[in-house]
């Protein structure tokens, strides 16, 4: 199967990082911006970098946008050009168009004209930061489904030196522990001590939870809230 080809239109901080990260993962990446200096700068880090006007259909067609499986449009601040680029990419037959939006109305228009996915990195990051401030023991939270979340939580003190079975977490909270992350001290090649993270994936009922362990759990919001308060 041929590798998916990506196009990134708009090479600001977000767009250029997406392009570079995809290329690092061995995907062919076509990067487009209207500013020559920006295109020259990213050129060594992507498959092809082209100066083109994102609001001009011929320009994008010549650049080869139609050959991309997924196009990421990253011009949140220039809403008008972002909308035109979305429209052109869809008209050229790109199957998957992802648009970085600056506001809710920007996203509404993008979806209306055919964007397959809209993202708000700033809003998502703001939510994450607020959550981490409000619940410092929660390290990571991923929405699993509408009701269920996958959460990385610092092991509550009540669980220290207990096996998973002894915590009775499934009966008491309706939560499943799917991994335990532990910091393990070691001596590195230079003879200097360091700490590495080891993950026990799918731990058994007799596995012990220690101080400073991080539990990766799946459960409903309200059940995880109870665990947070321990």
Question: Residue 127, interface with other proteins (CB under 8 A)?
Answer: no
Return the residue of 198, 210, 221, 222 that touches other proteins, per CB under 8 A: 210
Interface positions, 41-80, toward other proteins (CB under 8 A): none
Distance separating alpha carbons of residues 144 and 201, to the nearest angstrom: 18
Smallest separation (angstroms) from other proteins to the CB of 195: 5
Question: Residue 187, interface with other proteins (CB under 8 A)?
Answer: yes
Q: How far, CA to CA in Å, does 31 sit from each of 88, 172, 210? A: 16, 52, 47
In 3D space, the residue among 169, 183, 182 whose CA is nearest the CA of residue 218 turns out to be 169
Nearer to other proteins, 80 or 190 (CB): 190
Smallest separation (angstroms) from other proteins to the CB of 181: 12
Distance separating alpha carbons of residues 75 and 113, to the nearest angstrom: 16
Question: Residue 186, interface with other proteins (CB under 8 A)?
Answer: yes
In 3D space, the residue among 58, 66, 59, 117 whose CA is nearest the CA of residue 89 turns out to be 66
Which ranges in 64-142 belong to alpha helices (H)? 79-91, 104-112, 121-134
Question: Residue 122, interface with other proteins (CB under 8 A)?
Answer: no
Q: For the packed helices 79-91 and 104-112, what is the interaxial angle rounded to 10 degrees?
A: 20
Question: Residue 24, interface with other proteins (CB under 8 A)?
Answer: no
CA 24 to chain centre: 16
Question: Residue 124, interface with other proteins (CB under 8 A)?
Answer: no
Task: Write the Ramachandran bin of 194: left for phi over 0, alpha for psi from -120 to 50, otherwise beta.
Answer: beta
Return the residue of 26, 37, 190, 206 that touches other proteins, per CB under 8 A: 190
Smallest separation (angstroms) from other proteins to the CB of 76: 20
Question: Residue 193, interface with other proteins (CB under 8 A)?
Answer: yes
Candidates 27-35, 80-88, 155-163, 186-194; binding stretch for other proteins (CB under 8 A):
186-194
Question: Residue 184, interface with other proteins (CB under 8 A)?
Answer: yes
Where do contacts with other proteins occur on this chain (CB under 8 A)? 154, 183-188, 190, 192-195, 210, 212
């Amino acid at each position: 199967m041929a590798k998916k080809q990506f196009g990134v239109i708009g090479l600001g901080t977000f767009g250029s990082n997406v392009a570079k990260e995809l290329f690092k993962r061995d995907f062919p990446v076509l990067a487009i911006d209207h500013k020559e200096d920006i295109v020259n700068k990213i050129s060594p880090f992507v498959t092809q970098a082209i100066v083109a006007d994102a609001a001009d259909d011929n320009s994008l067609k010549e650049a080869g946008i139609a050959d991309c499986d997924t196009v990421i449009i990253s011009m949140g601040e220039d809403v008008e050009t972002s909308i035109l680029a979305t429209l052109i990419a869809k008209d050229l037959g790109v199957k998957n168009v992802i648009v970085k939006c600056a506001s809710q109305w920007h996203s509404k228009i993008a979806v209306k004209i055919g964007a397959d996915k809209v993202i708000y990195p700033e809003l998502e990051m703001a939510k994450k930061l607020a959550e981490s401030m409000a619940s410092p023991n929660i390290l990571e939270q991923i929405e699993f489904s509408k009701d269920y979340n996958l959460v990385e939580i610092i092991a509550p003190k009540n669980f220290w030196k207990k096996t998973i079975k002894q915590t009775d977490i499934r009966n008491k909270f309706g939560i499943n522990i799917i991994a335990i992350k532990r910091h393990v001290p070691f001596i590195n090649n230079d003879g200097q001590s360091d700490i590495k993270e080891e993950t026990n994936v799918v731990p058994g009922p007799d596995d012990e939870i220690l101080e400073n362990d991080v539990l990766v759990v799946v459960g409903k919001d309200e059940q995880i809230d109870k665990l947070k308060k321990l």
